[in-house]
Amino acid sequence: MVCSINCVAVLGSSGTIGSLVGGLIAQSGIKVYFLSRTLQGAKSGLQKAIAQARSEMISRNIVCGDYDHLLESALEKADLIIESVTEDLAIKQKIYEKIERYRRPDVIIGSTTSSLPLTALVKGRSESFKRNFLSTHFYNPPGKMLACEIAAQTDTDPEIYDFIKDFLENQLCRVLIPVKNIAGFAGNRIAFLLFNRITALAEEHGVEMMDYLIGPYTGRLMPPLATLDLVGLDIHRAIIESLYKNTNDEMHDWFVLPDYINKMIDRRALGNKTKGGFYKKLESGKYVFFDPGTCDYIPAIEPHVAFVEEAKHLIHIGMYREAFTTIKTARGREADIVMNILCTYVAYSYARIGEVTECEFGIDGIDRVMSFGFNWAAPSLIVNMLGGKKAVIELLDERGLEVPQALKSERESVKEVSNSGKYFVAR
Amino acid sequence: MKCDKVYILGGYQTDFARNWSRENKHIVAMMREAYQGSLLSTKVEPSDISAAFIGNFAGELYCKQGNLGAFFVDFDPCFVGLPTSRFEAACASSAVAALSAMAHIMSGIYDLVCLIGVEQMKTVDPVKGGDFLGAATWYEKEAAGIEFPFPKLFGKLGDEYEKRYGLDNKYLARIAAINYGNAKKNPNAQTRHWFMNFEHANTAGKYNAVIDGRIKVTDCSQVTDGAVCLYLASEKYAAKYAKHRQRNLNDIPWILGWGHTTAPIEFAKKVADSAQSEYVLPITRKAIVDAFRRAGLANCWELDVIETHDCFTTSEYMAIDHFGLTKPGESWKAIEAGIIEMGGKLPINPSGGLIGCGHPVGATGARQLLDAYKQVTESAGDYQVDGAQTAATLNIGGTATTNVCFIVSKRH
């Protein structure tokens, strides 16, 4: 078994995650091979890694090359292989064949996937390959988002798992979330349920209104539909489809993609990468918003809802708990929407304990991935802000949401409000 | 009743990596979070607080907000009518607030003072912020019309060292690398996730631009938003506080010594005045020596750790010989010998200092005091200096115009 990581090969180093994770490893002083289909691709990855580090010095630790010329010699030296090629089962399986051919028998292989089944990925691979294979799911951009989910598959050697966990935590300074081998792991499972629910509500209430209501003041750095523009709707659809296919839970129906999202994808309104998704910036600098009803862009309505404005003001002056009391006690359609989303977030998160993370960690792992992977206020923090466990159980009951056993049995949260203020943004 | 000893009961630091303007927060939110965090960490009863002193440099410029003491009264209904004041001495604002708190406690006026240091700096772009900072110099003479006046002035400090004793810039790069390295262990440090190594700090380039002369980006402290709240108490209150928490009074640190000096505001005059001195900044040296004398320390080797004012690498280079780690002009020897590193004979800035931890100007003095408290109570976590009993802080305002040195110890 490998006992220290001195050399790493990153496959798929032209992509965002491959290059930035490779860059992080190089920053810690380890030699990294940036491998891609073309040398040019690997070199473009190097530039991304340099920009992330804000230092040309890391290039001293990075060797760029293409698969045809450098793969064999790089894999002979690598103690760890990070596979970050396109999220496509066939493409990944093909690259694993190559890895199998050239790898050292003890090399550790980590895939950055979170949505493809690990067992399918290693189908047909040797026993020793499977023993050394696991998922290391980094969040984007890894320089700022510290969460890293780690999942073993059936044959992963527990010693390898512990070794990589230690490496990620202590050498790459990741916030580690041990997760079970299930589609979407913890973070994407929960976040994308919420995202999809909000896209469905946008059909009725409009894109701009939904991002206004579920805006940063509810405990997130970015509004949800703006976040999906950043992710890309094609990626969103792939994740939602994978979650629908590979999971089954009490909110399974909410993993059905609203049809207008398919139309957006057909029209290449994918988000920021196509300069238009839910939001589109005009030359004047103003934004227009996608209208799911007409599938056209409509001008801003600039919503103004009294309780939202009051909550934002309270957050502006640092009175977070009071802001949530305002949200909780507000009445009307908009208040219902906000509270339903917050309660869904809490109920769905607590219900996943034991399914996506081990029961013994309680809500901790899910808290960490939502905070360090998405910049969202953790579910337990929302419970705290809404008045504690007992109050939230009542709120869930009122909304007909199943109260998760894990919430009932969870110790009352003692999270310090003052440590968590950064998740409440006055916008 | 007059009181000889002033105790520190602990406190709270906000995460210096945060950008409060991006969070669309008012400066009061920062003060409130620091205050609420300090209650959780110290368990002080709000109704016991006799007064609140706020250290802040330029709230009026950065936030269009003055009279910061008034905001404290909003934090708890029992504070209505409480005496509060705001103190300003450039980067030493919260250190002078602490000195005033000490004076009030020692004279028997107050028993428990809540001290908040705060600065919100990311409200403006760096050029405008640099101009605001120029107000800490003699603005008309040293800053008006000059982009980034402070790096230029502290570059001149390096130039003076070079002239008198010689200075190899690689030692400045080493200071930067050490501070960034230490900051990685500090969960509240602004740069804890930033990449840095000696080669990067020692090389000018696209990502390490030269600001002026020998000063590159990595030689500078950060533009930082942050607040720190801590409590200074009389012996009478500290004894009551300890008793209620089943703690031994002797385990609570106190301010063993202090020094406070002010030099002429113009940097050129400071340097001209020191022509006959072996120290480049003898008025700064005097603040340190005064603190040693009041604390009964023979020299720096009775300290276990120093938190110093490294607004630039040149100011830490100055602090090394001014604290007496080396003879004047020989700071490089302490750097080369690893004395100032974690695990060295006298570590400097285990927190990361202003370069690594961040420099919210009006909060820095309070942050140093809190870090001194953490070190001597063995509560500094991953950046703890093993067995630290006595710590020194040096907070300077302007171009070492206002100088405040504290010695914090749990030796009684």
What per-residue confidence (pLDDT) applies to A196? 98
B36 and A426 in contact by Cβ < 8 A?
Answer: no
Closest-CA residue of A relative to B184 is A173
Give CA–CA dist B378/B385, Å, rounded.
8
A55 and B207 in contact by Cβ < 8 A?
Answer: yes
* B2 in contact with chain A, both atoms CB, cutoff 8 A: no
A418 and B24 in contact by Cβ < 8 A?
Answer: no
Does a cis peptide bond (omega within 30 degrees of 0) precede residue A292? no
Could you identify the residue written with the tokens 């809404």? A386
Cβ atoms within 10 Å of A203's Cβ, excluding its own: 16
B238 band by pLDDT with thresholds 50, 70 and 90: very high
What per-residue confidence (pLDDT) applies to B160? 97
**Amino acid letter, B160:** E
Write out pLDDT tens, residues A204-237.
999 999 999 999 999 999 999 999 999 999 999 9
Query: Residue B110's domain spans which residues?
Result: 6-124+224-244
- Would you list the DSSP string of B61-106? HHTS---THHHHGGG-GGGTT--EEEE-BTBTHHHHHHHHHHHHHH
Looking at CA atoms only, how far is residue A378 from chain B in angstroms?
17
**Residue B203: its chain A contacts at CB < 8 A?**
57
Asked if pLDDT for residue B2 goes beyond 80, the answer is no
For strands B6-13 and A31-36, give the pairing.
Answer: unpaired
Retrieve residue A125's tokens.
Answer: 């691979």
Rounded to the nearest 10 degrees, the angle between the axes of helix B93-106 and helix B364-376 is 60
Give CA–CA dist A148/A139, Å, rounded.
6
Closest CA to B286 of B301, B269, B274: B274
Retrieve residue A261's tokens.
Answer: 């999202």
CB B334 within 8 Å of CB B65: no
Phi, psi torsion values for A128, nearest 5 degrees: -70, -35
Query: Up-side HSE of residue A50: CA atoms within 13 Å toward CB?
Result: 19
CB pairs under 8 A between A and B: 77
Tally the residues of chain B.
412
Residue B130 within any structural domain of the chain: no
What per-residue confidence (pLDDT) applies to A115? 83
Closest-CA residue of A relative to B195 is A53
A55 and B15 in contact by Cβ < 8 A?
Answer: no
Give me the residues of B, 139-198, that contact A with CB < 8 A.
Answer: 184, 193-197
Closest-CA residue of B relative to A173 is B193
Give CA–CA dist B380/B56, Å, rounded.
25
What per-residue confidence (pLDDT) applies to B162? 97
**Any bridge partners for residue B231, and if so which?**
B114
B207 vs A56, A144, A318: nearest CB: A56
What per-residue confidence (pLDDT) applies to B411? 86
Closest CA to B253 of B270, B235, B271, B274: B235
Write out pLDDT tens, residues B118-134.
999 999 999 999 999 99
CB A232 within 8 Å of CB A270: yes
Spatial neighbors of A374 by CB under 8 A, at least 6 apart, are: A139, A145, A187, A191, A220, A227
Cα B30 to Cα A89, A316, A376, B62, distances in angstroms: 48, 10, 20, 14
A316 and B25 in contact by Cβ < 8 A?
Answer: yes
CA A383, distance to chain mean position in Å, is 21
Q: Rg of chain A over CA atoms, in angstroms? A: 22
Mean pLDDT of B5-17: 97
**Residue B225: its chain A contacts at CB < 8 A?**
none
B29 and A57 in contact by Cβ < 8 A?
Answer: no
Asked if pLDDT for residue A65 goes beyond 90, the answer is yes
Asked if pLDDT for residue A414 goes beyond 80, the answer is no
- Using DSSP, state whether A120 is helix, strand or coil: helix
Query: Which of A419, A420, A427 to probe the B interface (max B CBs under 10 A)?
Result: A419
Residue B84 within any structural domain of the chain: yes
B24 vs A60, A319, A426: nearest CB: A426
B25 and A315 in contact by Cβ < 8 A?
Answer: yes
Spatial neighbors of B319 by CB under 8 A, at least 6 apart, are: B284, B306, B308, B309, B310, B348, B394
Write out pLDDT tens, residues B303-334.
999 999 999 999 999 999 999 999 999 999 99
Closest CA to B392 of B338, B340, B327: B340
Residue B34 within any structural domain of the chain: yes
Asked if pLDDT for residue A184 goes beyond 70, the answer is yes
CB B364 within 8 Å of CB B395: yes
In this prediction the pTM is: 0.96
What per-residue confidence (pLDDT) applies to A2? 81
Asked if pLDDT for residue A274 goes beyond 80, the answer is yes
A53 vs B30, B195, B203: nearest CB: B195
Closest-CA residue of A relative to B200 is A57
Give CA–CA dist A36/A18, Å, rounded.
10
**Residue A57: its chain B contacts at CB < 8 A?**
197, 199-200, 203
CB B195 within 8 Å of CB B153: no
Query: Up-side HSE of residue A48: CA atoms within 13 Å toward CB?
Result: 24
A417 band by pLDDT with thresholds 50, 70 and 90: low
Cβ atoms within 10 Å of A91's Cβ, excluding its own: 12
* B40 in contact with chain A, both atoms CB, cutoff 8 A: yes
Retrieve residue B399's tokens.
Answer: 């171009």
**Any bridge partners for residue A298, and if so which?**
A289
Asked if pLDDT for residue A141 goes beyond 80, the answer is yes
Write out pLDDT tens, residues B381-406.
999 999 999 999 999 999 999 999 99
CB B221 within 8 Å of CB B16: no
For strands A108-111 and A80-83, give the pairing.
Answer: parallel
**Amino acid letter, A371:** S
A317 vs B28, B195, B205: nearest CB: B28
Looking at CA atoms only, how far is residue B122 from chain A in angstroms?
15
Cα dihedral value B198, B201, B207, B210, nearest 10: -160
Give CA–CA dist A198/A218, Å, rounded.
14
Q: How many domains does chain B have?
A: 1
- Would you list the DSSP string of B302-316? G-SEEE---SBHHHH
Spatial neighbors of A402 by CB under 8 A, at least 6 apart, are: A250, A347, A351, A396
Mean pLDDT of B226-230: 98
Give CA–CA dist A82/B162, Å, rounded.
48
CATH 3.40.50.360 applies to domain A187-423: no
Asked if pLDDT for residue B352 goes beyond 80, the answer is yes
**Burial of residue B118 (number of CB atoms within 10 Å: 0-12, 13-18, 19+):** buried
Asked if pLDDT for residue B37 goes beyond 90, the answer is yes
Looking at CA atoms only, how far is residue B28 from chain A in angstroms?
6
Give CA–CA dist B377/A210, Å, rounded.
49
Write out pLDDT tens, residues A4-39.
999 999 999 999 999 999 999 999 999 999 999 999
A56 vs B34, B194, B206: nearest CB: B206
CB A243 within 8 Å of CB A185: no
B25 and A426 in contact by Cβ < 8 A?
Answer: yes
Retrieve residue A138's tokens.
Answer: 């980094």
Residue B61 within any structural domain of the chain: yes
Write out pLDDT tens, residues A238-265.
999 999 999 999 999 999 999 999 999 9
**Residue A29: its chain B contacts at CB < 8 A?**
197
Cα A220 to Cα A188, A215, A352, A423, B113, distances in angstroms: 15, 7, 20, 6, 36
Cα dihedral value B24, B26, B29, B31, nearest 10: 140
Spatial neighbors of B378 by CB under 8 A, at least 6 apart, are: B384, B387, B388
Mean pLDDT of chain A: 95
Asked if pLDDT for residue A416 goes beyond 80, the answer is no
Looking at CA atoms only, how far is residue B285 from chain A in angstroms?
36
Write out pLDDT tens, residues A335-365.
999 999 999 999 999 999 999 999 999 999 9
Cα A280 to Cα A233, A267, A272, A294, distances in angstroms: 14, 13, 8, 15
Asked if pLDDT for residue A410 goes beyond 90, the answer is no
CA B202, distance to chain mean position in Å, is 25
Asked if pLDDT for residue B1 goes beyond 70, the answer is no
A58 and B195 in contact by Cβ < 8 A?
Answer: yes
CATH code of the domain containing B18: 3.40.47.10
Sign of CA dihedral B76, B80, B81, B83: positive
Topology of the domain comprising A7-178: Rossmann fold (3.40.50)
Give CA–CA dist A265/B339, Å, rounded.
61
What per-residue confidence (pLDDT) applies to A117? 86
Give CA–CA dist B313/A102, Å, rounded.
48
CB B142 within 8 Å of CB B61: no
| Domain limits, chain A | 7-178, 187-423
